[in-house]
């Protein structure tokens, strides 16, 4: 990409995007569920206008951008993150910034009310990136591609991204320490890796993928979207790779397809627990802070649990446990 070709600002002002009705003549199309039909009809609609944008977010010397997928009604989760691991501050001398990724509310009675509250929230905190497409499970991939484009425009010098859901716990101190020791690997991508995940062929599942969309036995290796770490230069390459791929209904698997195009392999890290943490001999997820002091990312936490865990971990916690998880 030459200097002249780099877009300097978000350039999508409006979207004139009509359904690809030729698909309705395909014999297999009528058998699909309504949601996946809708996805396929508008699959070619990729970039959308921004309702809230913060071009200034990556100005200065930002080391780590925390990027959290959220939805309009989840303000309590966003508030808990801002009060805990998502605080914009310096950790080990490195600047951390926070953004939330949102779509627009579905067209219902609550829409104007919810949007007004979000407007107030963004005025207060200045950390919402919102695009004008409807929130839905299948539109999570739109969040990925619109964010990758946004990052490429506004954050080309940010070395690292953390990306995750709004119900996770992140030990930002451990994350920064790990990234400092990881070297300047431009293709760094670590998380909970799914190496041989097969497409779901059960029609009643929300993860259902018909053979006509993807006919391979396994998805390319990808990381669980609950929480992962990625090098900034890789995010910019993934933006370019994503433009040559058809959008895919499962966002995590779509990122794996981008990695395959780039011949990049995601790496497993035992400190990223996107399926929770269990104590030996117990079936429920542990809430003992000593199990969390050496981890990077844990899924999942309610807002109250997150605030309590953060208070315990940032107090003078004394644990007998040694560092078990802190190596990739």
All structural domains of the chain, each given as residue ranges with its CATH number in brackets, are 21-268 (3.90.550)
| Closest by CA position to 220, among listed 268, 251, 247, 257 | 257
Characterize the bridge pairing of strands 272-273 and 193-194.
unpaired
- Give me 154's structure tokens: 């506004």
pLDDT band per the 50, 70, 90 thresholds, residue 204: confident
| pLDDT number for residue 286 | 67
Q: Name the pTM for this structure.
A: 0.92
Omega prior to 300 cis, within 30 of 0? yes
> CB–CB of 77/167 below 8 Å?
yes
Cα-trace Rg, the chain: 20
Cα-based distances in Å from 285 to 253, 279, 288, 301: 26, 7, 9, 10
CA angle 99, 207, 44 (to 5 degrees): 65
Mean per-residue pLDDT, 115-135? 96
The residue with tokens 């190596």 is 327
pLDDT tens, residue by residue, 232-271: 999 999 999 999 999 999 999 999 999 999 999 999 998 9
| pLDDT number for residue 75 | 96
Distance between CA atoms of residues 251 and 143, nearest Å: 9
- Give me 242's structure tokens: 């994503």
Distance between CA atoms of residues 201 and 64, nearest Å: 38
| Closest by CA position to 165, among listed 270, 63, 317, 272 | 272
> CB–CB of 273/50 below 8 Å?
no
pLDDT tens, residue by residue, 70-124: 999 999 999 999 999 999 999 999 999 999 999 998 776 567 788 999 999 999 9
pLDDT tops 60 at residue 5: no
| Closest by CA position to 55, among listed 7, 102, 22 | 7
Q: How many residues does the chain have?
A: 328
């Amino acid at each position: 990409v030459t200097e002249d070709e780099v877009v300097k600002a978000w350039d999508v002002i409006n979207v004139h995007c009509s359904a690809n009705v030729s698909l309705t003549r395909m014999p297999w199309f009528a058998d699909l569920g309504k949601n996946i039909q809708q996805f396929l009809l508008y699959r070619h609609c990729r970039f959308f206008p921004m309702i809230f944008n913060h071009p200034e977010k990556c100005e200065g010397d930002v080391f780590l951008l925390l990027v959290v997928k959220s939805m309009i009604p989840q303000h309590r989760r966003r508030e808990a993150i801002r009060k805990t691991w998502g605080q914009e501050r310096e950790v080990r001398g490195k600047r951390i910034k926070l953004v939330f990724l949102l779509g627009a509310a579905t067209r219902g009675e609550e829409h104007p009310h919810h949007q007004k509250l979000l407007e107030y929230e963004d005025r207060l905190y200045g950390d919402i990136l919102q695009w004008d497409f409807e929130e839905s499970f299948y539109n999570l991939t739109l969040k990925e591609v619109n964010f990758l484009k946004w990052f490429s425009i506004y954050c080309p010098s940010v070395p690292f991204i953390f990306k995750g859901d709004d119900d996770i716990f992140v030990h930002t101190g451990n994350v920064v320490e790990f990234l400092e020791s990881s070297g300047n690997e431009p293709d760094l991508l670590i998380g909970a890796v799914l190496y041989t995940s097969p497409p779901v062929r059960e029609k009643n599942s929300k993860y259902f993928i018909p053979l006509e969309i993807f006919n391979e036995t396994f998805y390319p290796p990808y990381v669980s979207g609950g929480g992962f770490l990625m090098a900034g230069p890789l995010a910019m390459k993934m933006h370019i790779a994503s433009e040559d791929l058809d959008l895919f209904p499962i966002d995590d698997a779509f990122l794996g397809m981008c990695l395959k195009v780039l011949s990049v392999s995601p790496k497993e890290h035992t400190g990223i627990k996107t399926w929770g943490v269990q104590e030996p001999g117990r079936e429920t997820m542990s809430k003992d802070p000593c199990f969390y002091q050496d981890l990077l990312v844990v899924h999942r936490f309610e807002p109250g649990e997150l605030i309590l865990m953060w208070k315990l971990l940032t107090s003078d916690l004394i644990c007998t446990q040694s560092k078990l998880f802190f190596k990739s």
